[in-house]
Structure 1
Amino acid sequence: MSRSDLRIISLIPSATEIVAALGCGDYLVGRSHECDYPERVQDLPVCTAANLNSNRPSRVIHDQVTELLQSALGIYRLDLDQLKDLQPTHIVTQAQCEVCAVSLADVEQALTQITDQTTQVISLQPSLLAHVWQDMERVAIALGYDSQSIVQQLQTRIKNCQQQLQDLEHRPIVACIEWTDPLMIAGNWVPELVDLAGGVPCLGTVGQHSSWLTWEQLLVANPDIIVCMPCGFNLEQTAQATQELAQKPQWQQLKAVQNQQVYLTDGNQYFNRPGPRLVDSMELLAEIFHPHIFPPRYAGHGWLKFY
């Protein structure tokens, strides 16, 4: 297949960003309802929809997700007619989290209902930064492109950050909250990002799914810094969720709260998408943790101080 014949549908934002970073953005013909970066992809046909209302309080969204999963219903649905019309040569999806996007099983089932069975499905399942580089290589190979140059550029930025942090005398203990009601601590690649940004991650485990967290566990860890990054939330939604969190009686007992070291981030754009912009996320954390070293390039649009 020649490059000019490529017709790519991405069903998860991180995959859309990977395809674009590889220089294949012009061959995208469809996207998920959540794909919004780079900005030009917003003009593409939408191939998915959510079966829940994401503009609700954290507890309500949690209950909706739980009910859908317990009922064996999908959180997202595919537009089969749109898939047929777009005739993709490749579909990029994921098998990492059924709460994050359309599942691999749903995509495979949908393709059985489309007469053209030649579509290649590329399924991503990253849980570490190394997996993201591997995913970029897999996508590049499938599309006939080379990922080496862009991956080297990203890794160079990581090395530059490490060089600036090599003489650190203090690394703050950091808790990254991925959901506020109930509490969830960020796992997978987020503890790696915290470490690379000059912090000491607590509670979350590198390479493992984000896990539920009790207030007792958070109080015992008593981090120096709390970074709120609710999955799928922008800055405004994160601010609202953190305001609700701050009403809990245990909130004022936390060192980070007492020292005004609570930060809001755009989790949707920077932490929930295992793609090339995770390097941006590392740089964002570095400027929160060590403002005397890093200028506030992401402040105002990527993060805000809560107090």
Structure 2
Amino acid sequence: MRIVSLLPSTTEILFAIGAGDDVVGVTFECDHPAEARERRIVSTSAMPEGLTPPEIDAYVVEAMHRGDDLYHLDAGALSGLDADLVVTQDLCAVCAVDVSVVDDALAHLGCSAEVLTCDPHTLDEVLESIEVLGRATGREAEAVALVGDQRERLAAVVARVADRPRPRVVLLEWTDPPFAPGHWIPEMIELAGGECVLGTAGEKSVRVTWDDVTAARPDLVVVAPCGYDRAASQGLADELVGRGLLPAGVRVHAVDANASWARPGTRLIDGIEELAAVLHP
């Protein structure tokens, strides 16, 4: 089987279940595991490099208003890879190539590859997507085993934080303007033994104000901007503190959003375990 993965999360899942050798095409964001970088890149960003968070937000808002794509799909590269399976999403036009773009490109090329969309909104759906990919690639046993291991680790965290006080947590999915999280992230906070006081599980992330953040009375602010690693998140966290935008004296923790929060892949459990250790040392 020849697989093109247009999502960093599905790329890491495919490698984790033993289908990495079948992956022939990826996106420019597929950086885990490192071996994924050796595959042909078929999707790149339309956004200029070097933009600040407010500039990125403005670019995205304007592009969405115009109906422009935020990603470029290299149809020639896609055609040359002769894929049997293309994995994409229909969840977020800001996150990756939309399934409609993939369908149009394959139809134009006369390619008969199967298109599989992975659109998890909750943590359970993330785990289900691992099994879906396992069935689609003939690695069902490996996928079931991986999900079992993930659920065991989740259960261990839940048991460790049970009956402990639940600190109030605000997680910032973006910092300028501030966004409260949705989808699986509020669940992650709750499983780690915190109380998510901004954002709704299973829903989209929402724009909030700094007054909203203050009114939420957080004990901890987690800085987890989508697309940023830990070092870049720490830089933004330091900036927020320096500008006095966060409640006075609140604890601030920067995370690797790419690895363990924003991407619905195998490493969300790492984020839950890390946050549990911060909340309940």
TM-score (ref. length: structure 2): 0.95
Distance in structure 2 (CA, Å) of the matches to 1:109 and 1:63? 28
Aligned: 1:51 with 2:46: yes
**Aligned 8 A contact 2:161 2:276 in 1:** no
1:248 offset after TM fit, Å? 4.1
Aligned: 1:277 with 2:272: no
1:160 offset after TM fit, Å? 1.1
1:188 offset after TM fit, Å? 0.8
Q: What's the counterpart of residue 11 of structure 1?
A: 6
Instruction: Decide which of 192, 201, 204 is 1:206's aligned counterpart.
Output: 201
**Aligned 8 A contact 1:238 1:266 in 2:** yes
Instruction: Decide which of 80, 85, 94 is 2:80's aligned counterpart.
Output: 85
Letter paired with 2:255 = T
Among all aligned residue pairs of Structure 1 and Structure 2, give the percentage whose two residues are the same amino acid: 34
**Aligned 8 A contact 2:181 2:206 in 1:** yes
Instruction: Decide which of 177, 192, 208 is 2:172's aligned counterpart.
Output: 177
1:166 offset after TM fit, Å? 2.2
Instruction: Decide which of 26, 31, 34 is 1:36's aligned counterpart.
Output: 31
Aligned: 1:137 with 2:140: no
Distance in structure 2 (CA, Å) of the matches to 1:247 and 1:57? 17
Instruction: Decide which of 152, 156, 159 is 1:160's aligned counterpart.
Output: 156
Distance in structure 2 (CA, Å) of the matches to 1:104 and 1:97? 10
CA offsets 1:133-188 (integer angstroms, 9 cap, x no match): 221122111112212111111100111112222242x1110000000111101111
Distance in structure 2 (CA, Å) of the matches to 1:84 and 1:240? 40
Letter paired with 1:78 = L
Aligned: 1:288 with 2:272: no
**Aligned 8 A contact 2:25 2:40 in 1:** yes
Letter paired with 2:258 = N
* Alignment length (residue pairs): 279
1:38 offset after TM fit, Å? 0.8
Aligned: 1:123 with 2:117: yes
* Cα pair distance change 1:229/1:54, threshold 3 Å: farther
**Aligned 8 A contact 1:177 1:186 in 2:** yes
Letter paired with 1:158 = L
Aligned: 1:258 with 2:249: yes
SS of residue paired to 2:32: coil
**Aligned 8 A contact 1:90 1:122 in 2:** yes
Letter paired with 2:24 = V
Distance in structure 1 (CA, Å) of the matches to 2:8 and 2:50? 19
Q: What's the counterpart of residue 18 of structure 2?
A: 23
Distance in structure 2 (CA, Å) of the matches to 1:156 and 1:24? 23
Gaps of 5+ in 2: none
**Aligned 8 A contact 1:54 1:61 in 2:** no
1:47 offset after TM fit, Å? 0.5
- Point out the more displaced range, 45-54 or 225-234: 45-54
**Aligned 8 A contact 1:185 1:203 in 2:** yes
Give the aligned CA root-mean-square deviation in angstroms.
1.3
**Aligned 8 A contact 1:94 1:123 in 2:** yes
